[in-house]
Amino acid sequence: MWNGQFPRTVLALARPVNAVSKCCVDFDNYGLNARPPGTTRLKEHAMIAKGWDIEVVRAAFPALRLADEGIPRVYLDAPGGSQVAARVIERMSEVMLKSCANEGGAFRTSHESDRIMGDAHTAVAALLGATSPDEIVFGLNSTSLIFYFSRMIAHDWRAGDEIVLTRMDHDGNVGPWVIAAEERGVTIRWLDFDPETFEYRYEALDGLINSRTRLVACNHASNIFGTVNDVCRIVAAAKAVGAVTMVDAVQSTPHLPLDVALIGCDLLACSAYKFFGPHAGMMFVTAGLRDRLKPLKVRPASWAMPFRLSPGTPSFEAQAGTQAAIEHIAWLGECFGGVSALAPLRERIVAGLEAATAYEATLMDRFLTGIVGVPGFELYGTGSRNRLNARVPTFSFRLAKRSPQEIVQALAERNIFGWAGDFYAYEASGRLGLRDKGGVVRLGLSHYTNLQEVDLAVEAIARLGD
């Protein structure tokens, strides 16, 4: 029951931090000097991540202190949903306590909701590199936003038109377009991936995209293989024929400094609950596409953004929490990315994600080094330690003689949290014949994971190997 207190402040967050060198990142070794496609970099900060202090980072996540029957929780379930930063919890509680009101009113709490909306849209624009908060739309989650936009975008598709979808995407960026295509009599062309490299077959693009192509939808980072895809290349090919481009960035946003201007896409979706915030989704939509769309809105709703493309009353608390999650990332930039707290938000975000990327490379290296030689271990994704810039820290695997469900159950008994299944990577799991075999085990590392947790997981998996 509410005791009149805000949740205990864990804000070491506000304190300046003397970062100590606990991990040494060799950018060349990990291939990190090559920037992943669609991401930006503050070049002068590329080496600053050496000061990463994982204990300081972990202190920002209250859930990391929880234990059950004395056994600490090891959260390797981040690709399904990350843990939440303390400032997010505080901000959301504060909104619900002090400013519960709809927007657009004459009174104080309603003004506060107006401010929350404005600040949250501005923060997401800074996160994604959008030029204006009017290019951001909040929704329940990415899937429902893609459904919503698909209805507006497919509005004028005709029989004989084509769209290109991929066999690697989460179904959230496939299913809505399949339904729209079926409704409009539009042909679907499929961009496949190479089952050896777990990368798109880019060489097929020329044969798939043509003057009839109305939409190309692809993903930035795979939620099953961890591959970071060259979305710039795909988007450029689609734009050359005037197709609408949709990038699913749900799995890249928590790990990489995205830049929608570099990607050049019309639409890009991400979800705050994957990047340390609450359950909410966001869609970036270019002003050009936005203004061509016939908005799916109720008649009295304002034509102004974001109302034009945000049906109904939004979750103000989720918007406030999303802004706080983005501030958490910016705080990483201040602590470990070498930027001042006074630097523009975008700069602090980029520096924070750059520092996180570098730290996560050490985690990936540890995992891949440790797991080598576990009998019967089969990784679904690139296992190269020299190309860590080609993946996010999401590892999917099988063991020869245990089902994925058995493995995650055995891990859960040690309080190690991971997922088994296909994670809605429906086409990919079908393509690899995994659907009827229980899929794969998926463990996700995050900037709050420590090396001991990686070792614990590796050791637990090794015990299960044959």
Ligand X SMILES: Cc1ncc(COP(=O)(O)O)c(C=O)c1O
Residues forming contacts to ligand X in the complex (CB under 6 A) are: 141-143, 170, 172-173, 219, 223, 248, 250-251, 271, 281
We find the least distance from the C-beta atom of residue 395 to ligand X, in angstroms, to be 14
59/185 Cα distance (integer angstroms): 53
Query: Tokens standing for 41?
Result: 């970099």
We find the least distance from the C-beta atom of residue 355 to ligand X, in angstroms, to be 23
- Tell me the sheet residues that pair with 218: 247
Query: Tokens standing for 97?
Result: 């306590």
By beta-carbon proximity to ligand X, the closer residue of 143 and 362 is 143
Helix (H, G, I), strand (E, B) or coil at 48: helix
Query: Tokens standing for 185?
Result: 């009599």
We find the least distance from the C-beta atom of residue 204 to ligand X, in angstroms, to be 21
Query: Tokens standing for 315?
Result: 């979750």
We find the least distance from the C-beta atom of residue 65 to ligand X, in angstroms, to be 26
Mapping DSSP onto H, E and C, the string for 118-171 reads HHHHHHHHHHHCCCCHHHEEEECCHHHHHHHHHHHHHHHCCCCCEEEEECCCCH
By beta-carbon proximity to ligand X, the closer residue of 124 and 374 is 124
Q: Could you count the other beta carbons within 10 Å of the beta carbon of residue 300? A: 6
44/25 Cα distance (integer angstroms): 15
We find the least distance from the C-beta atom of residue 396 to ligand X, in angstroms, to be 12
338/325 Cα distance (integer angstroms): 19
We find the least distance from the C-beta atom of residue 298 to ligand X, in angstroms, to be 23
Q: At what angle do helices 108-128 and 86-98 cross, to 10 degrees?
A: 150
By beta-carbon proximity to ligand X, the closer residue of 39 and 219 is 219
By beta-carbon proximity to ligand X, the closer residue of 166 and 223 is 223
By beta-carbon proximity to ligand X, the closer residue of 52 and 75 is 75
By beta-carbon proximity to ligand X, the closer residue of 169 and 334 is 169
118/134 Cα distance (integer angstroms): 9
By beta-carbon proximity to ligand X, the closer residue of 40 and 271 is 271
We find the least distance from the C-beta atom of residue 223 to ligand X, in angstroms, to be 3
We find the least distance from the C-beta atom of residue 425 to ligand X, in angstroms, to be 8
Q: Could you count the other beta carbons within 10 Å of the beta carbon of residue 199? A: 18
We find the least distance from the C-beta atom of residue 269 to ligand X, in angstroms, to be 7
By beta-carbon proximity to ligand X, the closer residue of 141 and 449 is 141
Question: What does each C-alpha distance from 325 to 107, 126, 146, 161, 403 come to in angstroms?
Answer: 27, 12, 22, 40, 36
We find the least distance from the C-beta atom of residue 144 to ligand X, in angstroms, to be 7
Distance of CA 327 to the CA centre of its chain: 16
By beta-carbon proximity to ligand X, the closer residue of 312 and 373 is 312
User: 106 near 114, Cβ under 8 Å?
Assistant: no
User: 359 near 49, Cβ under 8 Å?
Assistant: yes
350/356 Cα distance (integer angstroms): 10
By beta-carbon proximity to ligand X, the closer residue of 251 and 323 is 251
In 3D space, the residue among 148, 147, 77, 124 whose CA is nearest the CA of residue 308 turns out to be: 148
Maximum Cα interatomic distance, the chain, rounded to a whole number of Å: 68
